[in-house]
Structure 1
């Protein structure tokens, strides 16, 4: 079994050539039986897809947006989106290979994403939205310094590009962290 210290992660911006690998990674981390190998699975609350090639390509090509990939020994093992939104950055599309979850790689990635957002855009805050019923995931972000705001936005029921809800109480909560 690979450990968190076997190889240092290499960060780089995604390119068009990475789209299929990123879609596969994100799907493996959140949907279906493969996602159950890690702890970030959404398989019990959402079926269907988490993302698609068009959605990933839009993130890669959007102005003021970066899709960071994380490689180990030349293999894509994680990714995250950073988007400049005025005085803050948005953090999204965070996925770590289920086989590597729980070994500290996620902490390393989010710290690097925060560092890059400060260095690249000079922002003072990172924001993200998390499905509010994901208490374990929200608690993980809270341990990284994020705080719950109580500000909710509706889940896009009926838009299967974001998945097929398995329950009727899904919504997104805004989490924030000062980057000072």
Structure 2
């Protein structure tokens, strides 16, 4: 990928179907394979294989009550996140920032925009997300932004390679929540 300016304000827009190939590449680069190791959000030590696929991204882009927020700098896709309306709360997922841009505040800006968006679009009072419980560094990052661990676990979908190939047998997701003011 070409170098992207690390300065300048990001622009936010709702992703469209023509963005799907670039979104798949972005999500994969942030979580899987050697490229992901340039950033701190890699899951390569926990999971191999794919993180998502064009069908998974398309489902988010086209679903009612769902927004895939695309983030650009200098006209290039640099981050994204999924927002889903679930009654009084919203779900936050598929969060990805280009590995070479991680650690410079872009993720924090995307998360803040996501929170503003779900309040404005849906009147959401709470944001929820699930994070692999073994990702202590990532959970700590969310805790510093007001998210709380609930201790509520859900199983990892072992045997469904659409979500990756687990490298250990004890993976599970933990629910994190944050009230939105």
Cα distance in structure 1, aligned partners of 2:117 and 2:127:
11
Distance of 2:15 and 2:73 partners within structure 1: 15
Counterpart residue number, 2:122 = 121
Counterpart position of 1:86: 87
Task: Tell me what 1:11 maps to.
Answer: 12
CA distance in 2, matches of 1:15, 1:29: 20
User: 2:40 and 2:4 mapped to 1: Cα distance?
Assistant: 17
Shift of 1:7: 1.7
- Residue in 1 aligned with 2:98? 97
User: Could you tell me which residue of structure 2 aligns to residue 135 of structure 1?
Assistant: 136
Shift in alpha-carbon separation, 1:103–1:36, aligned structure 2, 3 A: same
SS at match of 2:138: helix
Shift in Å at residue 177 of structure 1? Answer: 0.1
| Cα distance in 2, alignment partners of residues 105 and 61 from structure 1 | 25
TM-score (ref. length: structure 2): 0.97
Structure 1 residues 92-135: Cα deviation after superposition (integer angstroms, max 9, x where no partner): 00000000000000000000000010011001000000000000
The equivalences for 1:97-176 within 5 A come to 97-176=98-177
How far, CA to CA, are the matches of 2:148 and 2:5 in structure 1? 30
The SS at the match of 2:158 is coil
* Equivalenced residues, count: 179
SS of structure 2 residue aligned to 1:106: helix
The residue matched to 1:60 in structure 2 has which SS?
Answer: helix
Q: Find the aligned partners of 1:10 and 1:111 in 2 and give their Cα distance.
A: 13
Query: Which position in structure 1 is the counterpart of 2:66?
Result: 65
Determine the structure 2 residue equivalent to 1:47. Answer: 48
The gaps in structure 1 that reach 5 residues or longer are none
Q: Alpha carbon RMSD of aligned pairs, Å?
A: 1.0
User: Matched residue of 1:11: which SS?
Assistant: strand
Structure 1: which 4+ aligned runs deviate by more than 6 Å?
none
1:28 paired with 2:23, answer no
Structure 2 unaligned residues grouped into runs of 5+: none
